[in-house]
Amino acid sequence: MAVESGLPRGLSEDASYSESRFRLVENEQLTLVTDGVVEARGKDGELFGFARTEAISNRPAEDIAQVAQSFGQDDGISVISVTRTPVIGPALA
């Protein structure tokens, strides 16, 4: 899913941010990662990068964080994965 990039939240009072709307179908997963994953840096200075991040994006959040950390953590790493599950019964009020 393509999204616009922008300044990190809280960096500037005057910054504006785009909003994206989407709908997950049953069993579809959305994974959000902070720049600490993409910018993890190996001993040779190479960045973990977007291609590696995309390649492991279907794995559990903990695995993604551990892979980036093992590669060479320079920054905080946060990974959140959300999967839409089928509705089994009526929602409780």
Residue 89 is predicted with a pLDDT of: 74
> CA-to-CA distance for 15 and 6, rounded, in angstroms?
9
Report residue 11 as tokens: 């960096």
**Comparing 42 with 10, which gets the higher pLDDT?**
42
Task: Give the pLDDT band of residue 80 (cuts 50, 70, 90).
Answer: very high
> Which bin fits 92, alpha (ψ -120 to 50), beta or left (φ > 0)?
beta
Q: Which amino acid is at 41?
A: R
Give percent above pLDDT 70 in the chain. Answer: 97
pLDDT tens, 19-31?
A: 888 899 999 999 9
pLDDT tens, 38-57?
A: 999 999 999 999 999 999 99
| Helix/strand/coil for 72 | helix
> CA-to-CA distance for 83 and 28, rounded, in angstroms?
6
